[in-house]
Amino acid sequence: MSSCLVGCLVTAGPALAGGSGHRAAEPGAAGVSPRSLHPQDSSGDEPVWIAQTLPGTVVTRSAPVRWRVAPGVTYARWSQTDARGPIVAHLLTIDPHTPGLKIDYASRGKVRRVATVRDIIGRDHAVAGVNGDFYDIGHTGAALGLGKDRQRGLLHARIQGWNNAFFIDRHGNADVGSMPMTATVLDHPELTVTNLNSPFVTPNGIGIYTHRWGRTAGYQVTQGQRTHVRVVTVKHGRVVSNRRKLSTGKPIRGRQLVGRGTGASKLRTLTRGTSVRIHRHLQPQPQVAISGNRFLVLDGLIKAVDDRVLAPRTAVGVESDTGAVLLLVIDGRSTTSRGYTMVELANLMVDLGADEALNLDGGGSSTMVAKNQQDQVAVLNHPSDGFERRVANAIQITYTKPAA
């Protein structure tokens, strides 16, 4: 990693890393591998910088560099320095009610497929975007929480545990809040669905996997658990197979129900030909949704508490009075930009006018892409890996000139 700024920062070894890409056993799990799916700062294993606790400090800020990316979208970049050291900030301010402008969830098609932000938003010829949710880096590649796309609908979700989200509601307004999935097996109310296209099935739960997931991931979705598991394949609303072994690398045709523990025992009763109809949705029902890990600001009140771990950051916020959406990236892990703590990130979002704000994946994942002053889509920040990391999804902004 880059040298720390003398007198401002110290490094911590892996034992202090608050959230790496390794899995730890979920409560109640049996026979699982030691990989954690609850990162605090980044989806990757990365060095941790720890901020010193300092008294009140003077902040000096450079004049921002600004340009219009598209109608309703403005980019700004500035640097600022305090006693902890310098940072470089990148901000996209979006008016979601601009005619022809849309904010959407974006990915490269399959939930398991990772790609750079530039490649992800390039699929829809977007004018700007940032990285989205934390994801199961180095394993399934799937996002940890929820994602709903305007065109493709609900792609992945959990009933609990990773439901803090940024969303566009049915009226086209942006907001931040908790958004659990509701899933019901209409013919079998005794079956409790806990996951949709998730990196793992909740212990004793049942996960649904569809063609949107990509190829099967075998026992990775049971966190290495090989006993007391079961997979049921449903086509055209009927069970066509019920097995105890999970496959790897196979296309999913129809739907698969994967059970662990109690969930597996309940799936055992589903014989060939049994009717299985599944209804799932997010509540409330948004047009678009994407999750992050922690609320930074809710109703104007700062919710962040960590003022120690410095990292590159990505956040999304909403200014309630105007409806403006703020996409913020803070560069980090360099001598020119140290990164931010969660408290610093929340404070800046409030200073920028956000009444609601959510922390997205950070570290080497933090990436902002938008049209530059030459009208070319480019990476505008400096990802701390030294290159664009491949991520699971993104928030993108598209613009189509309205018909005259």
Say if CB 379 and CB 387 are below 8 A apart.
no
Do 193 and 206 form a contact (C-beta atoms < 8 A)? Answer: yes
- Give the tens place of pLDDT for each residue, 77-99: 999 999 999 999 999 999 999 99
End-to-end CA distance of the chain: 53
Q: Is the pLDDT of residue 19 over 80?
A: no
pLDDT of 293 higher than 80: yes
Average pLDDT over residues 185-195: 94
**Between 163 and 37, the higher pLDDT residue:** 163
pTM of this structure: 0.90
Residue 14: predicted pLDDT: 27
Residue 56's pLDDT is: 65
- Confidence at 144, pLDDT banded by 50, 70, 90: very high
Write out pLDDT tens, residues 322-381: 999 999 999 999 999 999 999 999 999 999 999 999 999 999 999 999 999 999 999 999
DSSP 216-236: -BGGGGGTT--SSEEEEEEET
8-state DSSP, 179: -
Mean pLDDT of the chain: 90
Residue 88 DSSP label: E
d(CA 199, CA 203): 12
Q: Give percent helix, percent strand, percent coil of the chain, each to the nearest 5.
A: 10, 40, 55
Span 55-64, pLDDT tens digits: 667 889 999 9
Q: For residue 404, what pLDDT is reported?
A: 80
pLDDT in tens, 103-128: 999 999 999 999 999 999 999 999 99
Residue 252 Cα distances to 181, 217, 218, 235, 266, angstroms: 22, 11, 12, 10, 22
Q: Domain ranges in the chain?
A: 60-177+284-399, 182-282
pLDDT(38) > 80: no
